[in-house]
Structure 1
Amino acid sequence: MNSLRARLIAGVVGLVTVIWLGVTLAAWLETRHETEEILDAHLAQAAALLTAFVGHEADELDEHLPTNRYLHKVTFQVWDGGRKLLVHSANAPDHRLSASDHGFSDASFDGDRWRVFSQWSDDGRYLVQVGETFDVRDDISRELAGHLLAPLAVALPLLALGLALLIGRGLRPLSTLADDIGRRDANRLDQVDTARAPSELKPVLDRLNQLFARLSRSIELERRFTADTAHELRTPLAAMRTHAQVAQGATSVDEREAAISHVIEATDRATHLLEQLLTLARLDAPAASQSFVACDLRQIARTVLAAAAPAALLKQIEVELVEGPSVAVPGDPTLLGVLLRNLIDNAVRYSPPKVGVGVTAGLTAAGEPFVAVSDQGPGIPPAERSRVLDRFHRIAGSGASGSGLGLSIVARIAELHGARLELDSSPDGKGLGARVVFSSRGSTVKDRPSQPPRAGR
């Protein structure tokens, strides 16, 4: 049963039925008990009246009995000395109604069960017994049960109809909401009005509005990302076309070689941009942080430094892994490698020739694991440090080509690992110091330092 209305109606009607039947049963049992006591009292009263007549006109008692449809279900006997049947009703047997000669008792004869009351006269000579069949009591019980249950057959359909109307009216805001959402096109993500919504529906609408807000932000980011990507790709593609045309029209070998060299540089720039874009796309996927294992930050740094050595050698830059403890954090080793590669690539790219770039892994004063890269480049002004995390943002006048995505990638990977990216000046006051600080939860530290590898020069 998937209908909320049907569930509510069935639940309420079922509950009312159970309660009604329970109350009816309790009332029937109590009323049956009271009825039996009243009928027993009538038997005792009848026996007392017969006892009062005994000795006067006892042999004429049956002539004064009224005619009644229940008369054949009531009987009496008067015994002289308890042995000689003096007088009795027409339907009474020849033997005593009950072996008991005092008070109430149950007996069976002629195929019926009887309730019998026995009483002696004041002088102790006459025994009076008055009996009534249990059929009378059963008939009264059945009639009482019918009167109690009959309203249920009428009330339940009326209750179900009333509930259907009331619940339908109560659920009307849901239908209105469904119609409102159904009329929206794919680009309409404005908030649903909750001012007139029932209080029970407001939590759902609040969550729905939060979802709309997240979708709106996500779509806006996708639009900006697409526009920025198109703009960034246009530049290297235009450069490649221009230099290719120059090479095509070159009149000398040197001019052609220079143009082809520019084409290769533009191709490398476009390739780097596409690689960064693919990395961002993977990081934005929902499953980007589901395969965390223990990762040795120093070991990852060694691997990345080995890959960065050729680029550092071209600029005669010495890249050094500073001596320190071996720190392991829970994470994705591939993503952490991408994080360090981007930090080291930026450091090498923006540093002047013949300087040093330092890579450090260790613990902060608060005991948090970190990995840091410092360079001797132009650095980033404090006012720009928050903006450089935006995608495609580059500092004007930096003098180096780049995609403007490196620090965005680093910040996203840090976020996936529950870490934070801190940008500051290098320890020597020159260049940029970029530090990624991880949570101490799940991290391990080994005090044995390893020999730092060097690259470049």
Structure 2
Amino acid sequence: MSDKRSMTRRLAIALTSVVALFWFVALGLGVYVMQDEFTEIFDSGVQETAERLLQIVANETTRDAPSGLAQASVTAPALNSQFLTYQVRDRDGRVLFDDGAPEPFAVPLATGFSQTPTHRIYTAGTTDGSLYVQVADAIEHRTEALMEGGTALLLPLLVLIPGSILAIVFVVRSTLSPVSQLRDDILTKDSGNLAPIDEATLPRELRAIARSVNLLLARLKAGLEAEREFTSNSAHELRTPIAGALAQTQRLAREVPPAYQPRTAQIERALVHLSRLAEKLLQMSRAEAEIAISDEQHDLLPVLMVVMQDLERSALGANRLNVQVAKGTVLERPIRVDAFAIVLRNLLENALIHSPPGSRVDLHVDPMGIRVTNESAVVAEDVRANLTKRFVRGPTEASGSGLGLAIVERLVAQMQGQLLIASPARGKTQGFEVEVRL
């Protein structure tokens, strides 16, 4: 939840805030109701105490002083409470007995409840008004009881709120896991992986999104297939007229007088260069169309052997290629065989063209990938850093377009591989080495 815009974070915060707010509102209502109930309970206790004391005092006073209250000398019982105090007063307001409160309460001698800033007082009197008992309950006592009750309600919330946060985060993450799954599925889609998303495993609310994405993927796949087919057809259509023009030029060179042969040779070289450039441009176009990744695993070793045999039959690679395949090598990857063939052919052609005539070119194959090494002169580091750029060539007089390594770099990136260039070659004092880790 590091991203502040995360749905999980926002939902967890929102739900926790709402739940906590409801809990605190419920706590406030509970304290309010508890205050009313405490007031009723305490008032009932004070009233009952006052009425009982009035009966006791009235009985004692009648027995000891039948002629009246003057000179009465009764001892009233103690309440055994640190919160309740009482006074027995006559009709004139004099305090006859008290429980630690000698000064008369500043309330009228009338039956019922009265209140001072510090006490809640109930006054009970005889029917003739000759005796009054006033029992006072400290407001501090009631406040303390209310605070303790409120605290007892609040403390569990301090534990429940963090627990609810964890529970809400867990529930939200579990509920949103299909959204994360759909997001991850969509992130894996590119021109090499256009397989439709499985809608059956998604909740009903997300199936419409998955269905729309699948329709978009189907259209994209159709467009890419059309583009690849056009590129392939274009390559074929371009090769045919160029090859025809080259053949006619070569035939013409044998028929024209010697004075015209240098010019026909120049035309032939131009057509050969045009043919190679057109092929490289078409390969770059295919690389830009992201043809490298496949939905299925393919064994690349047979492709490697076909490319090797094709080059060995050409004048450029005859008797110059040396293949070393590590024992037990299995080179199966989700890579299109035509993309791998383009990578391998460009690496081998570059190695053959930019090395001394008749020198050997080594191809090492292991489970990690391929490595092509030739015996060219050492290429400086600053030059090597730019060789994968389009139309950039090293210090060489050999013919070429400067697109070979650019095409390789583009396709290897799509294969999620790694392209390593070194000069001098590994274990040598010269040479040029290109390694492709797949």
The normalised TM-score by structure 2 is 0.49
Query: Quick one: higher RCO (CA 8 Å, sep 6+), 1 or 2?
Result: 1
The normalised TM-score by structure 1 is 0.47
